[in-house]
Amino acid sequence: MATLYIVRHGETEENHRHVLQGQLPGTLTDEGRRQVAEAAKRLVEMKAACSQIISSDLKRAIDSAGIIASKLHLPIVPMPLLRERDWGEFNGMPIDEARERFLHDGEWVFPPDTVETEDAVYQRAKDALLALARTCHGDSAVVVTHGLFARNLIAAHFGLSPRMVKPLENAEVRILEL
C-alpha cells in the first residue's frame, strides 16, 4: 500500500487575479512560496517517509515541488497526467467573466470542443491514480498538483463526484491511501 501526500501548488499571480489558469504555467507569489514552505514543514513534522515527489509538469506545480524537494531532499518526477483541467481557449479568462458566460444552473456549459469536459478530467484522474500506483511501487510519495484536479483524484479514488470533495486551499496537504 502507498500513501500519497497530495499537495495543491502555492498561490499564484493568476490565483490572485482570479483567472482560469488551466494549462497556463502560473507564477508563484511570495505568499505562494511561503505557503509551500509551510506545507513542506508539515510534511517533515508528519514524518512523511516518501521516496519521491511526483508533480504536474506545469510551472506552478514544479516550482512548488522544488520548494518541497529542498526540505525533504527528494527527487521530482514530472507527470503530465496531473495537470489542471484544460480550459482551452478560455485559459486566462477572468473567473467572474467565465461564470457569467458559461455557468448555468450550477453547470459549466462551454461551446463544444473548446474545454476538457468534467468527465474527461475525472477519467484522467482515474488514469493518474493507476499511474501513481505503478510509479510508487508501494512506496509513499508527495503528489503536487492543482486544486480541481486534486479534487478529482480524491473523488475518483473513493468513487465520488468531485463536487462532494471539499476544495483544497493553496499548499494544503491531504493524505490518500492507495
Whole-number pLDDT of residue 50? 86
Give strand pairing partners of 144. Answer: 7, 55
Whole-number pLDDT of residue 138? 83
Residue spans of the domains in the chain: they are 3-177
- Other residues' Cβ atoms within 10 Å of the Cβ of residue 113: 7
Say which of 9, 11, 14, 157 is annotated catalytic: 9
Whole-number pLDDT of residue 106? 86
- Domain 3-177 classified CATH 3.40.50.970? no
For residues 95-116, give the mean pLDDT: 90
Say which of 14, 84, 146, 157 is annotated catalytic: 84
- Other residues' Cβ atoms within 10 Å of the Cβ of residue 19: 22
pLDDT above 90: residue 111: no
For residues 114-134, give the mean pLDDT: 95
- 84 catalytic? Reply is yes
pLDDT confidence band for 112 (50 / 70 / 90): confident
pLDDT above 90: residue 110: no
pLDDT above 90: residue 46: no
Angle, helices 59-72/30-45, rounded to nearest 10 degrees: 40
Place of cell 508533480: 55
For residues 147-174, give the mean pLDDT: 97
Whole-number pLDDT of residue 73? 95
- 9 catalytic? Reply is yes
pTM of the model: 0.95
